[in-house]
Amino acid sequence: MTSPLQQKIKITGPSVVTANRTWDGVVIWRTNAKDWSTDLADAAIVRTADAARALLGESVADDLGAVGAYIAPVEVDESGAIKPGNLREQIRVDGVTIELPAHA
């Protein structure tokens, strides 16, 4: 398997590193405190390819804590609030766009 770090990193705007938590699969984002959070608001924002590479590097290194780390685009507004940068990431933040079958 090609490590994500061997792939060419290109970012076009503010980005974060996201993954799934190993033991339960929950969506997580890499924070500035070299840790993970389940809240996008806590995510470390990177704005250059080098910074993205560094953040991804430390994320991938945490093989025990997180699975499948990758760089994802976000939008940051004037107040600093972070929003997902595409539909896929929006679905990972907000959940499925459909109604879940009724709980039994």
Partner 1 sequence: MYAYDEIDRTLINERVSEFRDQVKRRLSGELSEDEFKMIRLMNGVYLQLHAYMFRVAIPYGTLSSAQLRKLAHVARKYDRGYGHFTTRQNIQFNWIKLADLPDALADLAEVGIHAMQTSGNCTRNITADQWAGVAPGEVEDPRIWAELLRQYSTLHPEFSFLPRKFKFAITASAHDRAAIKVHDIGLRLHRNDKGETGFEVLVGGGLGRTPFIGKTIREFVPGRDLLSYVEAILRVYNQYGRRDNIYKARIKILVHELGIEKFAEEVETEWLQIRDSTLALDAAVVEDIRSRFSYPAYEKLAPMPDELKQAAADPQFEAWRTNSVAPHKVQGYAIVTLSLKPIGGAPGDATAAQMDAVADLADKYSFGEIRVGHEQNLAFPHVAKRDLPALWRALDKIGVATPNVNLVTDIIACPGLDYCSLANARSIPIAQELTRRFANHDTANLIGRLHVNISGCINACGHHHVGNIGILGVEKNGEEVYQITIGGRADENAELGKLIGPAVPYAEVADVVEDIVEAYLALRERPDELFIDAVKRLGVEPFRERVYATR
Task: Determine the Cα–Cα distance for residues 39 and 60; give it in Å rounded to an integer.
Answer: 19
> Measured from the CB atom, is 50 or 58 closer to partner 1?
58
> Measured from the CB atom, is 32 or 86 closer to partner 1?
86
Residue 100 main-chain phi, psi, to 5 deg: -70, 150
Write down the least CB distance from residue 41 to partner 1, Å: 18
Question: Residue 31: enclosing H or E segment and its boundaries?
Answer: none
Write down the least CB distance from residue 85 to partner 1, Å: 9
| Residues in contact with partner 1 by the rule CB under 8 A | 1, 20, 22-27, 63-64, 67-68, 86-88, 91-92, 95-98, 100-104
Task: Determine the Cα–Cα distance for residues 91 and 76; give it in Å rounded to an integer.
Answer: 17
Write down the least CB distance from residue 14 to partner 1, Å: 16
CB neighbourhood size of 22 (10 A) = 15
Write down the least CB distance from residue 98 to partner 1, Å: 5
Cβ distance 18 to 31 under 8 Å? no
Taking the alpha carbons at both ends of the chain, their separation in whole angstroms is 40
> Measured from the CB atom, is 32 or 61 closer to partner 1?
61
> Measured from the CB atom, is 22 or 37 closer to partner 1?
22
